[in-house]
């Protein structure tokens, strides 16, 4: 790989939400995930894991600069607001910095936009300080890009700090087409909203394409850990392989 590719790979590591949202994730996997989050080539932006592991990850990564992200109503986008707020309260109390909330997209798609917007507003209202709300649209479930754009506007108006493409748990995950729609919506809003691509991003080339798209739409210098994330598990090994000039190690899971 060229020197430019190595520099890009180092940059991408700092934009990564290193993720384990597999059903078989346990304490051993969490320990391994946190161990991989800080390495000789830099640290990732955040780790993203199930709520029950937030406390363990928070303790393991204290003072490293790595943020702790978790998920609620994941992956189905359930509409039980009371449960979402309860789960958020527990996770935030355990040390979560970021909440990845699935937009109740089924409600949105059946015409109940108020249900979807209300959950985002209520979730945003319980955050404090530097805590952030990342709203997962699940763009692969939408019939067209017009509806994706509409959902983006709804989530932004309701207070989302980030828009995220996908859960990675349905047939269609992140796509450059949907990412472009989302980035255009963020740009048009004029608000300081970030973007996260997640689901199926496993190679250096995949990740670099999303950075290139974001810089083309949002402008040079916009992409930073505060505005842009990639959620993945296997990608870190691929980026390290680019930097070190070797073959990537097998990923522990394939979010």
Question: Quick check: is 253 in a domain?
Answer: no
* Annotated catalytic residue 100: yes
Q: Does any domain span residue 166? A: yes
What digits encode the pLDDT tens for the residues 78-98?
999 999 999 999 999 999 999
Candidate list 17, 87, 124, 164, residue with the active-site label = 164
Range of the domain at 196: 3-244
Tell me what the mean pLDDT of segment 175-195 comes to.
98
As for how many domains the chain has, the answer is 1
End-to-end CA distance of the chain: 25
The tens digit of pLDDT for each residue in 45-65 reads: 999 999 999 999 999 999 999
Considering the domain boundaries, does residue 32 fall inside one?
A: yes
Q: What CA–CA distance (Å, rounded) separates 10 from 240?
A: 8
Q: Predicted confidence band at 128 (pLDDT cuts at 50, 70, 90)?
A: very high
* Active-site choice (17, 87, 94, 100): 100
Residue 134 annotated among the catalytic residues of the structure = no
- Number of Cβ within 10 Å of residue 238's Cβ equals 22
Annotation marks residue 114 as catalytic: no
Q: Choose among 31, 115, 21, 37: nearest CA to 75.
A: 21
* CATH code assigned at 137: 3.20.20.70
Q: How confident is the model at residue 248 (pLDDT cuts 50, 70, 90)?
A: low
The answer to whether residue 119 sits within a structural domain is yes
* pLDDT > 90: percent of the chain: 95
Residue 251 lies in a domain: no
Q: In this structure, is residue 233 part of a structural domain?
A: yes
């Amino acid at each position: 790989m060229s020197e430019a590719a190595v520099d890009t790979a180092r940059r991408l590591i700092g934009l990564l939400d290193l993720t384990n949202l597999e059903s078989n994730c346990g304490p051993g996997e969490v320990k391994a995930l946190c161990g991989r989050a800080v390495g000789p080539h830099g640290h990732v932006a955040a780790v993203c894991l199930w709520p029950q592991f937030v406390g363990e990850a928070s303790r393991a990564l204290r003072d490293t600069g790595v943020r702790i992200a978790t998920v609620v109503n994941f992956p189905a986008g359930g509409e039980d607001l009371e449960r979402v707020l309860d789960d958020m309260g527990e996770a935030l109390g355990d040390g979560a910095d970021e909440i990845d909330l699935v937009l109740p997209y089924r409600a949105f798609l059946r015409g109940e936009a108020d249900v979807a917007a209300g959950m985002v507003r209520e979730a945003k209202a319980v955050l404090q300080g530097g805590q952030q709300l990342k709203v997962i649209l699940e763009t692969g479930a939408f019939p067209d890009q017009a509806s994706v754009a509409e959902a983006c506007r709804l989530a932004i108006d309701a207070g989302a700090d980030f828009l995220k493409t996908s859960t990675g748990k349905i047939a269609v995950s992140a796509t450059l087409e949907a990412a472009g729609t989302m980035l255009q919506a963020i740009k048009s809003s004029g608000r300081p909203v970030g973007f996260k691509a997640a689901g199926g991003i496993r190679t250096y080339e995949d990740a670099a394409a999303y950075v290139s798209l974001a810089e083309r739409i949002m402008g040079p210098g916009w992409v930073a850990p505060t505005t842009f994330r990639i959620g993945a598990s296997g990608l870190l090994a691929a980026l390290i392989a680019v930097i070190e000039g070797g073959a990537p190690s097998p990923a522990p899971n394939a979010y």
